[in-house]
A and B are shown apart, each in its own frame.
Chain A
Amino acid sequence: MSNYIGQSIKRREDDRFITGKGKYTDDIVLPKMTHLAFVRSPYAHAKINSIDTKAALSHPGVVAVYTGEDCGNFGVPCGWQVNFKNGDTMKEPPHPLLAVGKAKHVGENVVAVIAETLQAARDAAELVEVDYEELPAVTNPNAAVQPGAPQVHDDIPNNVVFDFALGNPKEEVDAAIDGASHVTKLNFKNQRLAPNAIEPRSYIADYDVTVDKYTLYTSTQNPHLIRLLMCAFVLGLPEHKVRVISHDVGGGFGSKIYHYSEEALVTWASKQIGRPIKWTSDRSEAFLTDAHGRDYVTTAEMGFDNNGKIVAFRVHSEANLGAYLSTFSTACPTYLHATLAQGCYTTPLINIDVTATFTNTNPVDAYRGAGRPEMTYMIEHLMDTAALEMQIDPVELRKTNFIPAFDGVSQPGYQTQVALQYDSGNYHATLDRALEMVGYDQFRKDQEESRKNGKLLGIGFSTYIEACGIAPSAVVGSLGARAGLYESAHVRVQPTGSVSVFTGSHSHGQGHETSYAQFVADTLGIPMENVDIIHGDTNEVAFGMGTYGSRSLAVGGSAIMKSLDKILEKGAKIAAHKLEAAVEDLEYAEGKWTVKGTDKSIAFGDVSLTAYVPHDYPEGLEPGLDFSSFYDPTNFTYPFGTHIAIVEIDKDTGKVTLKRFIACDDVGNVINPMIVEGQIHGGVAQGVGQALLEGVDYDENGQMITGSFMDYAMPRADDFPFFETDRKVTPCPHNPLGVKGAGEAGAIGSTPAVANAVMDAISHLGGVKDIQMPITSERVWEAMNS
């Protein structure tokens, strides 16, 4: 007992997942439930002249048909306000539930058709006649801001959502770049990605007229946030009348954080027709409408002195936010991105400048890493490119520039040039370990040898840092967040000593039911089987901000720890009474309170029973053993690590084979190593996917031409070697578990390592300065043969 932390305990939830017994939204069938199908815009930009729904309405089985005119006053809000450099508020056009007047991207909802069966709804949707007048479209964020570009929103000039800058004064940074002895400059696109959760989005709304209450079943990462946004900002409903349930969710990667128009629409329409309504996205709709990730067009420059020390880092990007502002879209290219520009280095001068733009494309928002992968790619790709240009070993270049180790306890945190203060770090340690794992010296010899034999081997590095555990509410509030980012936890000790934990974190693949139970059982000294973790229902859980930004354990776990402290504190009072001793004389270990120096003790279960059957009980103490807590962190957490990729390139075809992938991460303390390793593996797979395979493309008319798994390349098992992983531990100094978060690290660290490895393999051929992602065989071949 009492030693679950640090053990790779198999995930309890996997029993139901791998036997097909998970309870996903689409599995739910309610009595008298209807089905909804959307008519979506086939054009990227088109005036809607008229909509004829007569034929659809008379189709057998059709219950109702709605257009934008029917629910035109409701709009989906953005959750984060970013101001222009001059202080003006960002441009925030209405985001209607169904298009009104104009359709602004392919796939935008235009008409909702509700019928007795899904087939009837889909058949009737095809009978809706929409008279569109096609308008010119713009899809590239850089093209969108040019004079004369098509206007996505008629009243927003040059499609600019806002401009933004963070860091040191631009003149100082410009002067340092001008005076640098070497400047590495890259122009690139961080391409748009489709999140592709295995479970498509699914919503069921059920309005109950007898109590005037709504229930929304939704595949979301944050049920309370959905309820708050939908009730307060969209439909104007009191929250106590709305219950949001999100049982098992089959992956999100960010795409299920946001409040989508379809969610509000089914909820509103359920009251209109007085029956439950289900909508489940099909895969084509998911490609078109699940919020995408990335999509920046960037110029990044890094200046160095004679000794390879970074003197300044300067970036200008246009960030594509799509046709409308998704919930956290505005935070991604700004406060979740520019704030990471320090990397692990002592760069003294930094200026990050971003223009966010509207285009005739699907909205873009946070996707595994949210702004940090884009920044990490810039910094780490610049580092290896600079090393090649200056003929310095990339490892040496990093070591020259690393921030020295600091634990955040005896040494203070590290104040960056871009607002954040890092909590603790030891960047040399993960790099040294990763070098040992890869056998760096031997690799360089092998590489030289293999070149003689006509083979192209390359090694790429990435020493990343990221900011997790989002976030101190006051800090994000001052930066424009329209919500707090604390977490809640309610721990209920049942009379016989078993424990129900209600958490505002939401598990959609993270394994909370296991890892949370591990540290709760350890803290209370009781068997793990006696602990249940409950999440995903606004009627059961008091409140919650949900799961994203690698925040669950660091913020949600800390909230649980606060409740556990309260339970042990009250339990000690009960125990002291029963043992006829003073509280100060008791110690708690292995599930019992013992009077120090004696064998007199009372077990946790006896104390809990006493709390609920308080016959012999401390005077003035309330019965029960049941505590709620809210935890608002004092800082972000800053995991870091070193990723190394080794690739081999086929000279004749340009095919890139990932031969080895080494990851040494430091995510602070670890509760369940197997779960952390699984997160790293999954993240690396996604990061390598971006480097080599994935990319959403629109044609010049704004039609998505990568709308299926035949056109959008997802990584598969045979694209990977077995990952070699290890960890270092630098605990987080400011949360009770000392944890930092591991959900996004793999996706953030891996992408530049792979791109750098490709460049290392081919740059000696001469002429190849850079290569754009995804690094397909075609691109490599062209680079080698141009």
Chain B
Amino acid sequence: MIIKGKYPIDASAQNVWNHLMDPEVLKRITPGISDLQPLDKDKYLAISKIKIGPVSGSFEGELELKDIKDETHATIVINQKSKIGNVSAEIKMQLNKLENTTEIEYKGEAKLTGKLAMMGQRIIGGVVSSLSKQFFKTLNNEINNTIR
């Protein structure tokens, strides 16, 4: 499944980057996430609970950032396991500096197995898109210190 999109944040690229690289911030703003423990440099153990249509599950697994470049580019590698199936994804992210804002652009592919694939695939595109929007909206709020 292809995952891609763009989202504008009202802040400088540097500011956005700093927030994105802070595990404490990520833990606060990522939907469904309950824990993010550092395992290594740029490598975390993530624990989350997500409901996708008819299936819901507790996920646990690694989340790694690699190919970090210029404080604008990174690749997020996700390997999450759960009783309802596994998710593996590799998503390239870049920050595009615009006039007064920064655009986060991301593109990648996710693979699903198990019940997630059997029952979730039909609606997962919509779920991913709505979770992403929620994430970026919260990030925007976090940076601009508006509604918490």
Contacts and interface: CB of A to CB of B under 8 A. Distances in A.
Interface of A: 42-43, 106, 126, 284, 287-288, 699, 701, 703-708, 710-711
26 contacts: A42-B114, A106-B113, A106-B117, A126-B83, A284-B115, A699-B117, A699-B121, A701-B111, A703-B113, A703-B117, A704-B118, A705-B117, A705-B118, A705-B122, A706-B118, A707-B115, A707-B118, A707-B119, A708-B54, A708-B119, A710-B54, A710-B122, A711-B118, A711-B119, A711-B121, A711-B122
A684 B54 CA distance: 31
Contacts of A284: 115, 118
Contacts of A707: 115, 117-119
Given A43-B113, A703-B117, 10 more contacts: A126-B83, A288-B118, A703-B112, A703-B113, A704-B118, A705-B117, A707-B115, A710-B122, A711-B118, A711-B122
Given A42-B85, A42-B86, A126-B83, A710 B119 contact: yes
Contacts of A42: 85-86, 113-114
Nearest to B122: A711
B1 to A, nearest CB: 8
A75 to B, nearest CB: 26
Contacts of B83: 126
Contacts of B54: 708, 710
A284 B85 CA distance: 13
Contacts of A288: 118
A705 B121 contact: yes
Nearest to B85: A42
Contacts of B115: 284, 707
Nearest to B121: A705
Interface string B81-106: 00101100000000000000000000
Nearest to A287: B118
B117 A704 contact: yes
Contacts of A704: 117-118
Most A C-beta atoms less than 10 A away, residue of B111, B112, B113 = B113
A699 B118 CA distance: 10
Nearest to A107: B118
Contacts of B113: 42-43, 106, 703
Contacts of B118: 284, 287-288, 703-708, 711
Contacts of B112: 703
Nearest to B88: A134
Contacts of A706: 118
B90 to A, nearest CB: 14
A703 B121 contact: yes
A137 to B, nearest CB: 11
A703 B1 CA distance: 12
A705 B122 CA distance: 7
A79 to B, nearest CB: 29
Contacts of B85: 42
A710 B52 CA distance: 14
Contacts of B114: 42
Contacts of A708: 54, 118-119
A43 B86 CA distance: 10
A711 B120 CA distance: 9
Interface string B117-145: 11101100000000000000000000000
Interface in B15-55: 54
A703 B114 CA distance: 8
A126 B115 CA distance: 14
Contacts of B122: 705, 710-711
A710 B86 CA distance: 21
Contacts of B111: 701
A706 B86 CA distance: 17
A273 B64 CA distance: 45
Contacts of A699: 117, 121
B20 to A, nearest CB: 29
A704 B114 CA distance: 9
Contacts of A126: 83
A120 to B, nearest CB: 15
B111 to A, nearest CB: 6
Most A C-beta atoms less than 10 A away, residue of B54, B115, B119, B122 = B119
A335 to B, nearest CB: 34
State the 6 A-B residue pairs at the shortest beta-carbon distance, nearest first: A707-B118, A703-B117, A42-B113, A705-B121, A42-B114, A708-B119
Nearest to A288: B118
A37 to B, nearest CB: 13
Contacts of B117: 106, 699, 703-705, 707
Contacts of A43: 113
A275 B83 CA distance: 29
B133 to A, nearest CB: 24
A287 B114 CA distance: 12
Contacts of A711: 118-119, 121-122
B75 to A, nearest CB: 20
Contacts of B86: 42
A706 B119 CA distance: 7
A208 B85 CA distance: 39
Nearest to B114: A42
Nearest to B55: A708
A95 to B, nearest CB: 23
A59 to B, nearest CB: 15
A701 B118 CA distance: 12
Nearest to A704: B118
A455 to B, nearest CB: 32
Nearest to B113: A42
A653 B106 CA distance: 34
Contacts of A106: 113, 117
Contacts of A710: 54, 119, 122
A708 B83 CA distance: 17
A706 B120 CA distance: 9
Nearest to A126: B83
A701 B113 CA distance: 9
A96 B122 CA distance: 32
Most A C-beta atoms less than 10 A away, residue of B83, B86, B111 = B111
A711 B83 CA distance: 20
A106 B114 CA distance: 8
Nearest to B112: A703
Most B C-beta atoms less than 10 A away, residue of A699, A710, A711 = A711
A586 B135 CA distance: 93
B84 to A, nearest CB: 10
B98 to A, nearest CB: 35
A53 to B, nearest CB: 17
Nearest to A41: B113
A433 B86 CA distance: 57
A707 B115 CA distance: 8
A287 B117 CA distance: 13
A704 B119 CA distance: 9
Interface string B61-73: 0000000000000
Nearest to A46: B113
A59 B7 CA distance: 47
A701 B121 CA distance: 12
A126 B83 CA distance: 7
B147 to A, nearest CB: 36
B141 to A, nearest CB: 35
